[in-house]
Structure 1
Amino acid sequence: MKKIPAILASALVACAIAGCAQKPLAPTVDGAQLVPAMQRAALAPSVYELVYSARQQAVFVAAPDVTPDDAKCGVSKLLRLHPRTLAVQAEVVLPHRGFGLALDEDAGRVYVGHGFDGAVSAVDIASNQVIATIAVVPKIDGSTAPRPYAHSLRQLLFDPVHHRLYLPALANGGKSDSLLYVIDTTTFTLEKTVAGLGFESTGIALDTAGQRLFVSNLQAQLMTIDTQTLNLTHTAEIEVDQPINLAYDAEGQRIFATDQGIGFRPIWRNKGLGRHMQPRSKGHQVVVLDAASGRSLARIPTDRNPLGVLLDAKRQRLYVTNFNGIRVAEGQGSLTVFDSQTHALLHVVPLPPHPNSMALDADANVLYVSVKNDENGSKAGTPESVVRIDLNALD
């Protein structure tokens, strides 16, 4: 295992505090340009998910205004970044706060999930314009709450075979009736709502060839939905207490699930379920599951509180973002890199305060990571950032 040198770790911490440009690991040649192996750009008060478009040669990142008082929220945007310099090339003003993103490369669209506002927007990424917005979550009748929706949206996943968008929806108020909204992206209309997804549906992964959609919840369950019929066909009780995100390995018929290990979650879950549920694992790991049965095949220790998981099957690499503490004053988050076959830890890259979501340029072997603030950064109003890592420099 290689750990990035302490001098780089110090530089990363300094940059996180000061919002400066990232110092390189070692410069690499990209065409005729000499490009730093690691760069960091401070972008906006908050950043969440991001996607990379090979056709557009651009990175898109959700930058919502997350002011606690909904009535005082300002403008939320989708930022278009240069893939090498991370310079902002365009800002797309969104109708609501955007958090989750999904890319439809063939249609030239990025779909934006408005998690608290029950809607999804389609953005044309050639013209950098919102072309449509659809409301999918109904409002609660008679509600005067600032967020009058029964469910909140989390991730989005695009199905290129069936031209659909899948959106797990968490029940608001800690209830245990999660849903899956399915949007037909050809007509941009709601096609179906799948019920019965348990408490806090969070992770989602697609087996395109097998026509299976996997959804995990914080009730330690893995559900399988047939993408031909959109019927829930199987629910497995799994030994992963907090399977927050999923990555599917088509060759091995495996699922990699990040198991967060957040201490207050079982209390919250018990309240939502109305009963006591014994935690099934301690977290701080990636659990490898058999996709068909949900049986645990292996456990891979990570840093504390892993969140994002991304599989590069071609290079046999597994990337995991780790918060290393929740609601802490000074975040010391990291990116851990594993061999996806042997599960050996290959690299630990410090990415303070808290690395969040990832997107991969598979052709160039470049990883983009959104990095969120810790408590100190939030209080100081420090902009959140995106980091570009040339993965060739790690090996």
Structure 2
Amino acid sequence: MMLLPLPCRPAMVMAALLATTAAARAEPVFDTPAPFTGQVAFSGPDRSPAYAGGEVVVSGSGFVPGQEITLSRGGEPLSPAPLAADAEGAFTFSFTLPGDAVIGQHPVVVEAAAPDSAAVADLKISPELPLSGAERYETASAKTAPGVYQLAYSAKSGAVFTVSASGRGDKGTSKIMKFDAATLEVLAEATPFADEANGIYGAFGIGVDDENGTIWVTNTRASAVAVYRQDDLSLVKQFEAGSVGKPRDVVIDAARGRAYVSTHRTRIEEFDLARLEKLEGFELQSAERGGQFGTMSLALDAAKGQLYTVSLRTPELARIDLATREATILALPGAKSASGVAVDPAGGRVFVASQGSDDVIALDGATGEVLFDTPVGAQALNLVFDPVSGQIYVANRASDTIAVVDAASGSITANLDAGSFPNHLTVTPEGVVFAVNKARGEEDPEGDRLIRLVPQG
């Protein structure tokens, strides 16, 4: 019998490798995909903004108990070892950002194993600006009702009006308050309309109609608006619940006898100031493919007959010609979750504050050209332009500051302590700025306050 030679060692190794590879190929690499069910959030300590060089707290929820989670940025893991979801499907850990981390929204890849799934979560690094310029302002404040959202100034009555809403259902509270603009003394207050089906029609947005001696209030949760007398805050008319889908801001156009109301959605509703009737309104279409415009703050250039709004959902600004009723959509490069808008009628400029990108963008109102883009603080929510000083005042909700920006250059001229969660601002014809902020809790002495800033010199 002839004996065949045994294969040499290299041949045996190659054969084994091929057999292993074949076996591996038998295992499905692309097995049944699993939906990503988790949620991941990033913040600084105690839910503060995340800053370069500071601690970042990562919180996860909605994962499968025991599931391993890996987070990475640019291919580099953020934790030294995979994280494990606890019995509730949650995890938490923290790490320190490098000191040279660039501000903006950074994509973090979140990979979960067994079952395998993945998603991208944004880690926002906010600009951290030192306080400055307080000596150039005379500041006073007064307590408002809990959960204050917006305010409006009446030049005719010399009063400031605030609207507040807190809680929901039978535990909900809401107030409309009138303050003397000079002394900050409370002159009147009222509780909004309530019914059995909706409870209190919480007051969230406000606009002043000095021609008719009224204020207009948006009832966001009840999807309605209401009109009150300025002198005693008695109710003039309550529109039915559901008549205005999720109203936010209201701006008064005295020259045309109109009130315009944004809705968080594609519409701006329109009302007749004299007859207190709802009119045709405006429907805005995003210029982005598949995008949906979400109307937020409103700004009126009464002389030119132009109404401006920004979109929360898309990086866009809308300019409506009130004579032709045609809308022009302008791009807001780099803006994320835009919410505030103000206009400089004399200079033809428009200013936009964005919560997601923490900045103020200035544009040419006619061409849409970007004039400057200034980081101002975490969660830039609302802003006003003061034509007297040529300054822009920005409420940075998460930074607890009001940034003051030179409207010509975009440079920051002051950064003021605004207590807790500054929400909204207005400016008088004389250049006095009023703002409101919202408390972090019932025992917060720095929140739910009306603030007055009087520039000095």
TM class by smaller structure: 0.7 to 0.9
- Match for 1:243 among 338, 342, 359? 338
Counterpart CA distance in 2 for 1:288 and 1:357 is 19
**Highest Rg: 1 or 2?**
2
Counterpart CA distance in 2 for 1:62 and 1:41 is 14
Superposed CA offset, 1:99-142 (max 9, x none): 1111111221111111111211111112331111223844xxxx
Counterpart CA distance in 1 for 2:358 and 2:315 is 15
Normalised by the length of structure 2, the TM-score is 0.64
Matched, 1:232 2:329: no
- Match for 1:313 among 384, 387, 400? 387
Counterpart CA distance in 1 for 2:262 and 2:191 is 24
Matched, 1:285 2:359: yes
Which residue identity does 1:319 align to in structure 2?
Y
Counterpart CA distance in 2 for 1:391 and 1:136 is 42
Query: Closer, same or farther in 2 for the Cα pair 1:314/1:153, shift >3 Å?
Result: same
Deviation of 1:227 after TM superposition, in Å, equals 0.9
- Match for 1:352 among 387, 401, 419? 419
Counterpart CA distance in 2 for 1:60 and 1:317 is 23
Deviation of 1:185 after TM superposition, in Å, equals 0.8
- Match for 1:72 among 171, 180, 192? 171
Counterpart CA distance in 1 for 2:347 and 2:445 is 44
Question: Any residues of structure 2 matched to 1:324-339 within 5 Å, and which?
Answer: 325=398, 332-339=399-406
Cross-structure match for 2:438: 372
Check whether the contact 1:134–1:189 (CA below 8 A) recurs between aligned residues.
no
Cross-structure match for 2:429: 362
- Match for 1:152 among 240, 243, 246? 246
DSSP-derived class of the 1:152 partner: coil
Query: Closer, same or farther in 2 for the Cα pair 1:77/1:361, shift >3 Å?
Result: same
- Match for 2:185 among 78, 82, 87? 87
Counterpart CA distance in 2 for 1:358 and 1:381 is 20
Structure with the bigger RCO (C-alpha within 8 Å, sep 6+) is 1
Counterpart CA distance in 2 for 1:249 and 1:194 is 23
Question: Any residues of structure 2 matched to 1:130-279 within 5 Å, and which?
Answer: 130-135=235-240, 137-138=242-243, 151-171=245-265, 178-197=266-285, 198-218=292-312, 219-229=314-324, 231-239=325-333, 240-261=335-356
Long gaps (5+) in structure 2? 1-128, 194-200, 286-291
**% identity of equivalent residues:** 22
- Match for 2:147 among 46, 52, 76? 46
Which residue identity does 1:114 align to in structure 2?
N
Cross-structure match for 1:384: 448
Superposed CA offset, 1:32-70 (max 9, x none): xxxxx2222222211111111122121111122x21x32
Counterpart CA distance in 1 for 2:344 and 2:371 is 13
Cross-structure match for 1:62: 163
DSSP-derived class of the 2:280 partner: strand
Which residue identity does 1:81 align to in structure 2?
F
Query: Closer, same or farther in 2 for the Cα pair 1:119/1:3, shift >3 Å?
Result: same
RMSD: 2.5
Deviation of 1:3 after TM superposition, in Å, equals 4.4
Counterpart CA distance in 2 for 1:381 and 1:348 is 21
Deviation of 1:203 after TM superposition, in Å, equals 2.7
Superposed CA offset, 1:244-302 (max 9, x none): 110011122111000212xxxxxxxxxxxxxxxxxxxxx11100112123332211220
Counterpart CA distance in 2 for 1:129 and 1:163 is 21
Question: Any residues of structure 2 matched to 1:79-118 within 5 Å, and which?
Answer: 79-95=177-193, 96-118=201-223
Normalised by the length of structure 1, the TM-score is 0.73
Counterpart CA distance in 2 for 1:63 and 1:305 is 20
Counterpart CA distance in 1 for 2:446 and 2:363 is 38
Counterpart CA distance in 2 for 1:40 and 1:233 is 40
DSSP-derived class of the 2:152 partner: strand
Deviation of 1:347 after TM superposition, in Å, equals 1.1
Superposed CA offset, 1:298-352 (max 9, x none): 11220121111110113211111111x3xxxxxx511111221122211111112
DSSP-derived class of the 1:91 partner: strand
- The runs of at least 4 aligned residues of structure 1 exceeding 4 Å deviation read 1-5, 378-383
Deviation of 1:381 after TM superposition, in Å, equals 9.6
Which residue identity does 2:343 align to in structure 1?
Y
Which residue identity does 1:369 align to in structure 2?
A
Cross-structure match for 1:124: 229
Number of equivalent positions: 314
Counterpart CA distance in 2 for 1:303 and 1:170 is 23
Deviation of 1:195 after TM superposition, in Å, equals 2.1
Which residue identity does 1:93 align to in structure 2?
T
Query: Closer, same or farther in 2 for the Cα pair 1:385/1:201, shift >3 Å?
Result: same
